[in-house]
Structure formats: structure tokens, C-alpha cells
Structure 1
Amino acid sequence: MANMIIKKQIRSVSLPSRSHPSTSGIEEALNKMKIITTTTDSSESILMGLAGLEELYNCTEDFLKMDSTQRVMSSDRSRFMEEMLDGSLRLMDICSVSRDLMVETHEHVRGVQSCVRRKKVAGVGGGDQFDVAISGYVGFRKNMRKEAKKLLGSSKKIDCGSSSYENDNDHDDEHLVAVINAMRRVVSVSVEVLKSFLEFLSGRQSNVKSKLASVLMKKKKKDNHEATKNDLETLDSAICGDFCSRDGLQKKLEEVEVSIGGFEKNLEGLFRRLIRTRASLLNIISH
């Protein structure tokens, strides 16, 4: 009967596990993330999600350093530890590539900004450099969407917990089940936040929203239509010359630069914390 209960609890990371004193801290951090991830998929909410993941992994690091956590995890030789190591590696790869994409986006946005400023000062002159910068940005965005979709595919391969764990000792089972559930929830919420970010880059969610809006409101005004897009897609429209003055383009470039800077910073911080978490997992296995 005890083993049947354990199996049911392991099958779904979305269901609350039996509480254990050692997991109270990380469960509190996970509950905070649950609130953050229920907000809309705007650039601001995604930034909040990435910042929240940084804090969550700080808590995870403390959790993995606890003697009680290390004891039950080092004694476990199930697929769970392989699952955690594989998941941590995939998350690191997604985070690293995403960070590099933001660095490159920042470079392209600054390049276009510089050309817009020079064109404003020189009047008619400077058109060639501006066209080159625009062409470079448009080509990069096309490649970014492809890369984001590849990373989305990789995120789907991350195992957030489908296996069950059995142990003859009921007391050890309770503790290990609580640890496994907590760690799987950390991976699950990480995947959820990173998927939102990647969908933001690829335009997947905003495209769906735009199509739905066009069906419901065919005579929608231009400003309302722009509201259905994310920051990057709004900039894409502005760069392609859709109803946007040069001053308007400059303003959108500045707004996007701020968002990109936030993404860069948070992805870099998250990547470093993911490295530390993986190191802690390897350290537990080696002992």
C-alpha cells in the first residue's frame, strides 16, 4: 500500500507531495515561481520569470548542500539521477544559446540605432549603411526564429518526471519522494519559463494571438494591432517601414534595447547558477 501511494505521487510533479521538513525552503521558492508563471507572456513577465529562476536556483543550491538531501540522493541509484543530469545539461545548453542570441540581437539593434542617428543628422546621406544594417537585422531575426524553434524542440526532450521510485524502507521513501518531487518541479518550472522566452523570440505565441485577433476584429485599428505583438515583432514592423517615422523607430529601438539588456543579464545569471547546480549533482553522485 505504501509503495502504491509513492508511485501515485511520483507520476505527476504538478500534484503536491507529502511535506518534509528538508524541502520546506525549496517548496516555498517553487510556490513563488508558480505565481510568476501565471502572469501574461509579455517581455516584462518573462524577465520576471528569468529573474525568479535565478532566485530559485540559489535556493536549489542551498537545498543540494543539505546533508539530508545529499544522503538520500547519493543512496539513490534509480533513473532519477540520470534524469537530473540530462535535464541540467539540456537547460544549460538552452540558456547558453539563448544568451548568445541576446548578445547578437543587442549588437544588431545598436548597429541600426547608430545608422538611424547618422541618417537623421546627415538628412538624405548615409542611406547605404542604414540599408545594410536593416538587411543584417532582418536576416538575423530570421535565423533567430529558426534557432528558437530548435531550442523549443530540445526543451520538449527534458524529462520532468515520468518514472517511479520504489524502496523497502518507508521512512527513507518519504524523504526521497519529497526530494525527487522538489527537484522535478525545479526542472519543470525552468522548462516552462524558458519555453515562454523562446516562444517570445520565435513569435509563436504572438502570431497565434494576432490571428485570433484578426478573426474577432477584422476592422481593428493599427495601434490596437500593434498591441497584439511582442516587442521584437513590433520592432520588426517598424524596421520594415510599417507606419513608423524615423523618430518612432528610434524610440522602439531604445525600448527593445532595454528589454534585451535585461534578458542578457538574467540569462547570464541563470547560466552560472545552472553550472553550480550541475556541479552539485555530480558531487553528490561521486560520493
Structure 2
Amino acid sequence: MANMIIKKQLRSISLPSRSHPSTSGLEDALNKIKTITTGSSESILMGLAGLEELYNCTEEFLKMGSTQQVMSSGGSEFMEEMLDGSLRLMDICSVSRDLMVETQEHVHGVQSCVRRKKAAGGGDQLDVTISAYVGFRKNMRKEAKKLLGSLKKIDGGSRSYDHEDEHLVAVIDAMRRVESVSVVVLKSFLEFLSQRKSNINSKLASVLKKKKDHHEAAQNELETLDSALCGDFFFHDDLQKDLEEVEMSIGRFERNLEGLFRRLIRTRASLLNIISH
């Protein structure tokens, strides 16, 4: 059901209300993202990679003389809206990237303790490290929910804009759809981080279920690891596999968020350049 909702959101965003030859490249990039779904890390990574490509196209679009002329001459209110949205998106992207870096640090710590315990004991240190990771995950969920709240403050094309200059209207529509797509993709990523299994703190529930059931019930790699860490720690081979999967996914998230952050900076610089001229 969630996948269907996201698909509908992206389809509606990708269909231009008004078109203009100058916006065709940007609309093509928008349409490439409309098939992205939510739920799995792979689909979210595709969405983030799609945003990187979209903002590359956006930067080229903002460098066009015709775009700069029409935006500087008739879109002052709209420009302020875009600048506010770009700043919020940059902040969300930056905090998300930092969360991924911290997650990697915690995962590496657990991996190191698991290897030491497997080789020569050291269960107490493993318990401490796991407790630190579980505590961090709680804070991550809280932070992700705060960022989701910040996303809601971005207009994302919610307001209509009517003007006699059809080129200006087409440019504004295209830029608002870029912002809207960014909100949808980042929302799916933050929901991925903030999901919580009902048995995350219940070791009794994990004892009553087979480890296989935990993997089937988990909706993403982070939840799978949560279940493993709050269950029986002595399945070292399975736990190492869970840790490696999380490490791989988080590393890819970090790289994509870093790439997106850099492109958001360039887009904001282009907007500021248009205003200054």
C-alpha cells in the first residue's frame, strides 16, 4: 500500500501542468524518478541516485540564459521560496549523512567485539557495545522523525502560481516539481531510518520466535540487525552477516547523501547568483 502511495505521488509530480521547450530536459530527469518505490534500501538508493542526476540537470537548467532572465525579472517571491526550501533540504541531507557516519562507527564497534568474542571471549564488552548501538538507534529514530517534521515545512509545489508569462510559469512549475520529488525521496529514506519493530526491546519475543522469522519479519537491514542484537547473540555467523549487510547499505547511503548534498549546494549557489544579477 505504501509503495502505491509513493508511486502515485511521484507520478503526479512528474506530470507538468504547463510545459515549455526550455524545461524539457528537466522534465525528462523528473520522469526517470517516477518509477521509484519505497520500502527497501535498494529502491531508496535508486531514488537518491536519481536525485543526484536530477540536480545535475537542474544546475544546467539554472545556467541557461533564458531561465535566469525570466526568474530574475518576475519571480522574486518564488526565488525566496526556493532558497528557503534548498536550505532545509541541505540541512536534512547533511544531518542524514552524519547519522550514516555515526551508524558506521557503531557497526564497526560491534563487528570488532563479535570477532574478539568469537576468538577469545569478551562477552561483557560485546554487551556494552551492543547497548550503545541500541541506544544510538533510539536516538536515530528521534532525529529522523524531527527531520520528517522539517520536510513537511517545505512547500513542494503546494501553491499555484499564475502569471501571464507562460515561460515563467513553466520554470516555476518545473522547479517546484524538483523540490517535491526531493521531499518524497528523502521522506522514504527517513522513514526507513525511523521504522521500529514492536519487539525491538523484548528479548522474550525473540526467544519465542525462530531466528528465521526475525529475518522474514524485518522490513530492512537495520531492523534485521535490531532483531538479531536483541535476540540470541551467539549466532555469530548470522550476526556478522547482518552487520556486513548494514555496513554495505549505510556506506552507500552515506556516499549518495554526500553527492546529493554537494549538488544541493551548487543549486543554491545558482539561485543566489540569479538573485544577485
Q: TM-score, normalised by structure 2?
A: 0.87
Output the CA distance in 2 between the equivalents of 1:19 and 1:32.
Answer: 17
Name the structure, 1 or 2, with higher relative contact order (CA <8 Å, separation 6+). 1
Output the CA distance in 2 between the equivalents of 1:242 and 1:40.
Answer: 30
RMSD: 2.0
Structure 1 pair 127/244, CA: closer, same or farther in 2 (3 Å)? closer
Deviation at 1:166, TM superposition (A): 4.1
1:13·1:160 contact (CA, 8 Å) conserved in 2?
A: no
Output the CA distance in 1 between the equivalents of 2:45 and 2:234.
Answer: 27
2:14·2:34 contact (CA, 8 Å) conserved in 1?
A: no
3-state DSSP of counterpart to 2:34: helix
Residue of structure 2 aligned with 1:250, choices 233, 240, 258: 240
Deviation at 1:78, TM superposition (A): 4.3
Q: AA paired with 1:195?
A: K
Deviations 1:131-153 (A, max 9, x none): 12111101100100000000000
Structure 1 pair 225/245, CA: closer, same or farther in 2 (3 Å)? closer
**Where does the alignment leave 5 or more consecutive residues of structure 1 unmatched?**
1-11, 208-219
Deviation at 1:262, TM superposition (A): 0.2
Query: Hey, what does 1:144 align to over in structure 2?
Result: 140
Residue of structure 1 aligned with 2:192, choices 197, 200, 224: 200
Residue of structure 1 aligned with 2:159, choices 152, 156, 163: 163
Deviations 1:155-208 (A, max 9, x none): 0000112334344xx4xx11011101110000000000000000000006x77x
Query: Hey, what does 1:21 align to over in structure 2?
Result: 21
Whether 1:134 and 2:133 are equivalent positions in the alignment is: no
1:64·1:70 contact (CA, 8 Å) conserved in 2?
A: yes
Output the CA distance in 2 between the equivalents of 1:253 and 1:94.
Answer: 26
Deviation at 1:13, TM superposition (A): 5.1
Structure 1 pair 244/281, CA: closer, same or farther in 2 (3 Å)? farther
Mapping 1:36-185, distance limit 5 Å: 36=36, 39-122=37-120, 125-167=121-163, 170=164, 173-185=165-177
Output the CA distance in 1 between the equivalents of 2:125 and 2:272.
Answer: 50
Q: TM-score, normalised by structure 1?
A: 0.84
Deviation at 1:224, TM superposition (A): 5.0
Query: Hey, what does 2:230 align to over in structure 1?
Result: 240
Deviations 1:191-244 (A, max 9, x none): 00000000000006x77xxxxxxxxxxxx9763553342110110010112587
Of structures 1 and 2, the larger Rg is shown by 1
**Where does the alignment leave 5 or more consecutive residues of structure 2 unmatched?**
1-11, 199-208
1:151·1:198 contact (CA, 8 Å) conserved in 2?
A: yes
Output the CA distance in 2 between the equivalents of 1:13 and 1:180.
Answer: 13
1:238·1:244 contact (CA, 8 Å) conserved in 2?
A: no
3-state DSSP of counterpart to 1:158: coil
The sequence identity of aligned pairs, in percent, is 82
The count of corresponding residues between Structure 1 and Structure 2 is: 256
